Amino acid sequence: MKIKVARCAGFCFGVKRAINIAEKALDELKGEDKIYSLGPIIHNPQVVDRLLKNGLHVVSDLEKIKGGAVIISSHGAPLDTIEGIKKKGVRLIDAVCPFVKYAQRIVKDLKKDGYEIIIVGDSAHPEVRALKSIAGKNKRSKKLGIISQTTQNKENYINEIKKILGRDFSEVKIFNTICNDTSKRQSAARRLLKNCDLMIVIGGKNSANTKRLWQICKESGVDSFHIETELEMSKNWFNGKKCVGITSGASTPDSMVKKIIERIRRF
């Protein structure tokens, strides 16, 4: 059986940056101040657990923050959350992905120019919640501005744009805010699907971009499994298979990809 790994496997730039910022802060403030994050810095439980062991405190609300410093995750945070952190007088450490910040700047400009802002994405996702807070309460307008969550499936975004364009409008601005890494991972997965009869998608079950990769693989008709660690695999998945393709979400470390390849070889 052949094992083929997507070229884009492993951490993306934004995730590497967020982890480096967190690790640097934990190292610099070790034994001095507590360092918090509101929710996970990235959507990978294994990596977050490692940061917890190094002293990071992941909390669900501002009330649990008692001094020290707060890291804003790679996905960003709503404006009222950022204001709440500032009011507490704690140090704010910005680990927001630059691609997410780019989308935020677009929303600010569209709002200033009087556009009705349409965000295509998962409404409960931290990134989209942050974008919605910047957009504020939308007013109906014939000037439409359309952006996407950075980890959206490109085909889904295009389909949603087509629906929106059925509305009555005088002007429309469409921005491709899907990050390059997301697009490359999705394209690489589709290439593997042409030659593989089994796909393993590695990444956090709470990771939007990983779930989209799995959906792409599953919808192709190829047997596909979304896992976080090598221990979730079953030997019978590989019975009669000639080629297994491996891809991973943006917050999956190279070390986990290697562990899964090693376990498949043992099978």
Q: Which residues form the catalytic set?
A: 127
Q: In what order do the strands lie in the sheet with 69-72?
A: 56-59, 35-38, 69-72, 91-94
SS3 state at 246: strand
Single out the residue of 49, 50, 9 nearest to residue 202, CA to CA. Answer: 9
Which residues make Cβ contacts (< 8 Å) with residue 62, sequence separation at least 6? 38, 81, 84, 85, 88
How far from the centroid of its chain's Cα atoms is residue 133's Cα?
18
Angle at which helix 126-135 crosses helix 79-88, to 10 degrees, equals: 90
Task: Characterize 154-184 residue by residue with b for buried, 16 or more Cβ atoms within 10 angstroms of its Cβ, and e for exposed.
Answer: eebbeebeeeeeeeeeeebebeebbbebbee
Neighbouring-strand partners of residue 37: 58, 71
Question: Residue 197: what are its φ and ψ, rounded to 5°?
Answer: -110, 10
| Cα 179–Cα 117–Cα 42 angle in degrees, nearest 5 | 35
| Cα 82–Cα 110–Cα 176 angle in degrees, nearest 5 | 95
Max distance between CA atoms of the chain, in angstroms, equals: 61
